[in-house]
Structure 1
Amino acid sequence: MTAALLSMFSLVTPAAVYAAPETTTDTQEVSSDSTFEMSTAYPGISVKPGETTTFDLDFINQTGSGQDAALSIKDLPDGWEGYFRGNGGQINKVHIQSSGEVSEGLATLSLTVPEGTAEGEYNVTLEAVTDDGESSDVTLTLNVSEEENGASTFTAEYAEQQAASGTAFSFDTTLVNNKGSEQSFSLSAEAPDGWQVSFTPSGESNAVASLNVEAGASQGITVSVTPPETLTQGDYTIPISAISSSEKLTEELKVTITGSYAVEVSTPSGNLSVDAYANDKKAVTLSITNTGNVDLTNLNLTSSAASNWDISFDESTIDLLEAGATKEVTAYITPDSDAITGDYVASITAANDVATSTASLRVSVKTRTSWGLAAVAIIVVLGAGLGYVFKKYGRR
């Protein structure tokens, strides 16, 4: 009896020991083949009644083979509208490769909150089911509120700048889309007549009139502002706007023109060529014009010319020259007594601590000589002598 029982035990035990690892192995394989998940980066957001928002859906598939997954909305509040989008159109299925990596933004849920929806918290449940029966749910929580908790922003880092007229100003601004979906913003400015304003996205070289900003993203924009050359002193405000289908964002840029300082040296006719004689003082009328928009004071007149030349002025300092005004000054140029015939350059400069201008006069020196008069006298004498000879001896 005992021997029989021992014999039976020896037959059963090996089978039981053999079966146990086989069962364990099957269980592990099933567990490793069941990894499939749908998710979204921002499952909870705030929205306003009447607003349409989107959620980018990510998928991961570790089942060991590519899977088609049917998409559906399991739970949607009454009156709300939602559908899935992909590749520019409406979809109801996605294919997920078994790469083991997350397929980001493979599908997008577009969700519209009806006008008049009461404030509060609402849940939307999404489901993805593969052909193999694997499923994954995502619950979205939307806080409906009339307040602009998710309002986007358009701001300038340094909104106030100053410089002289003719200066091009550059403002660094940032456009932030705080909505749950991508927005297209048109860019514009309300500048006075004659001003030029352009918008250039950071990192790019071409100006644009509009741009797209993804949900939750920001975009740097350089706003270039060029006022007219003849602008007078003062403060100027340039409102700029970024407008989408649901938002109008504004910012004010302020420019302070401190004035332009400029002077010009010329002659009343504009002719910068004069004739002169060696060691002979030549008077030249100069026009000193304030071409800026700010009065100039203490303008000093200086000169430079060839060695041993002398240049002086009837007024070497102009105490006040009003914006746009012209004052005539006489310069006296005396070439060197040994200057030979030819062209020379004499420079006249008008300058103070904020403005300067130089005019280059071409001085043509003509050297006087007595040979011309002597030649005339000789001709006269010879003519008289010939006349006397003809008169005395002509009849012989």
Structure 2
Amino acid sequence: MGGEEGESIMSAKNMAVLREKGWKIGAVAAAAACLFAARPITAQAAGGLDLYTDYPGMTAKAGDSLSFSLELDNTGEACDASLSVQSLPDGWEGYISGGGGQISRIHVPSGTAGATATFQLEIPADAAEGSYQVVLAADAGGGVSDTLTLDLAVSELQVSQGDFSSEYPEQEGAAGTAFSFNATLVNNSGEARSYSLSAQSPSGWQVAFRPSGESTQVASIELEPGASQGLTVAVTPPDNVAAGEYTIPCSAISGSETLDMELSVTITEQYQMDLSTPDGLLSFSAQAGADSDVTLSITNNGNVAIENVNLTSSTPSGWNVSFDTPTVDVIEAGETAQVTAHVTPSDEALTGDYVVTITASTSETSDSAEFRVSVETSMVWGVVAVVILVAIIGVIGWIFRKYGRR
């Protein structure tokens, strides 16, 4: 009896425990059921669009033009989606392009190898520095859509002065030298500019602009933002330019700025003299023992004045040459002085051609001229010779008449 009663008591206790656990499990299940019943149930979409670009965040400058490559992936069925610019900062311009033109819709096949397009964005030059957003949208209808936000950090356009300069702006040389300067023109602005080229050269000088490495002369140059162009500036002075320092101001002028460059040319001193006659004839006739006047021209072909021009001569024996001005005090560059030479052949000079050399010289330069002098004997001697000849003939005739009869 005692054993049976103990087993009954243990069975009753186990049943009570099981009933308590069952009640707790039921309560938890009921609570869970209520919780799930209270929450809305959303169905998973069958497919969707993914609009993206590799670089959705960029830093740019005011005035920049940007291009974004757009990709569209489709996890659902193939569809046609509209493309649009959903939001754009004031003053900005942008459009979506594809196939060579602006587009508003695009076909998106199914799969990750979807469709591509390009978004072109123009940031105004006066855009303030700051952060901006541009939102693009793709919508296939039926709730299948996606947006893309582009984050742009814009810095203000830094407009700085361009530059027109030469590494070696000073040169020197003799008159007649063609000078060549290597220059560089730089557009430091944020926009393309056309520069007209000009130079204020001294009278008679020639200045030409040519792109480096080219032979074509140009009057203007078109430069993209931040670009530069090498130029050759050819400067040619006149042949008779005086010695000294000359300045050639050059300019590159656009609608927004004027760039100046100053070139300097030093013409070195050049001494050159020419001795001749006003008509260039270096021959004359003279009588033996008589003066013959010859006008000499002394031309200063150099670029500096010549001083103390001395005249000397070299003559046949017994001849004499004198000058009305043996020494010319000064002849300016490019000027001509005239001097008369008095040439006297020897009294005993026979008829014929002779050479007389006249030299004009200074301490820096000299020149000589050879004159051919045709000497003629005096007519008096011819008459005397004829008289003597006639007398001789008369004497001979008298002798024949007197003694010929015997």
- TM (normalized to structure 2)? 0.54
Q: Deviations over 1:260-309 (max 9, x none)?
A: 6443322355432223578998664423233555322354556678x989
Show the 5 A alignment for 1:216-365: 216-228=226-238, 235-257=245-267, 261-268=271-278, 270-276=280-286, 284-292=294-302, 294-299=304-309, 301=311, 314=323, 318=328, 320-323=330-333, 324=335, 326=337, 328=339, 330=341, 332=343, 341-342=352-353, 346=357, 348-353=359-364, 355-356=365-366, 358=367, 360-365=369-374
Give 3-state SS (helix, strand or coil) of 1:376's partner: helix
Deviation by residue 1:223-250 (Cα, 9 ceiling, x = unmatched): 1233455655665443322233444322
| 8 Å contact kept, 1:175–1:219 | yes
Amino acid at match of 2:352: T
Partner of 1:79: 91
Is the partner of 1:158 in helix, strand or coil?
coil
Could you tell me which residue of structure 2 aligns to residue 144 of structure 1?
Answer: 156
1:148–1:308 CA distance, 2 compared to 1 (3 A): farther
Deviation at 1:144, TM superposition (A): 1.0
Distance 1:113 1:276 in 2: 93
- Closer, same or farther in 2 for the Cα pair 1:38/1:339, shift >3 Å? farther
Whether the 8 Å CA contact 2:159–2:188 is kept in 1: the answer is: no
Residue 178 of structure 1 pairs with residue 188 of structure 2: yes
- Matched to 1:176, the amino acid is V
Larger-gyration structure (1/2): 2
Q: Is the CA contact (8 Å cut-off) linking 1:260 and 1:294 kept in structure 2?
A: yes
State the alpha-carbon separation in 2 of the partners of residues 367 and 320 from structure 1: 37
Q: Alpha-carbon deviation of 1:79?
A: 0.7
| Residues in 1 aligned to 2:388 and 2:196: alpha-carbon distance in whole angstroms | 92
**Shift in alpha-carbon separation, 1:215–1:159, aligned structure 2, 3 A:** same
Does the 8 A contact of 1:170 with 1:223 survive in 2?
A: yes
**Structure-to-structure mapping, 1:29-48, within 5 angstroms:** 46-47=61-62
1:111 aligns with 2:110: no
CA gap 1:179/1:114 in 2 versus in 1, 3 angstroms: closer
Q: Distance in 2 between matches of 1:85 and 1:350?
A: 84
What CA distance in whole angstroms lies between the structure 2 residues aligned with 1:38 and 1:161? 55
* Structure 1 Cα separation of the partners of residues 344 and 263 of structure 2: 53
Structure 1 CA distance, aligned partners of 2:83 and 2:169?
Answer: 48
SS at match of 2:230: strand
Aligned equivalents of 1:198, 1:310: Cα separation in 2: 57
Q: Matches of 2:65 and 2:350 in 1, distance apart?
A: 88
Mapped pair 1:160 → 2:163: no
The whole-number CA distance in structure 2 between the counterparts of 1:303 and 1:71 is 102
Corresponding residue for residue 179 of structure 2:
169
Report SS of the residue matched to 1:78: coil
What is aligned with 2:205? 195
Distance change (3 Å), C-alpha of 1:383 and 1:310: closer
- Offset at residue 376 of structure 1 (A): 2.3
Aligned to 1:100: none
Stretches of structure 2 that go unaligned for 5 or more consecutive residues are: 1-52, 70-81, 104-117, 139-147, 399-406
Aligned residues: 310
SS at match of 2:386: helix
- Give 1:161 shift: 3.6
The one-letter code of the counterpart of 1:202 is S
| Identical counterparts, % of pairs | 39
Tell me the residue number matched to 1:11.
none
Distance 1:316 1:44 in 2: 86
Instruction: Read off the aligned partner of 2:231 and give its amino acid letter.
Output: I
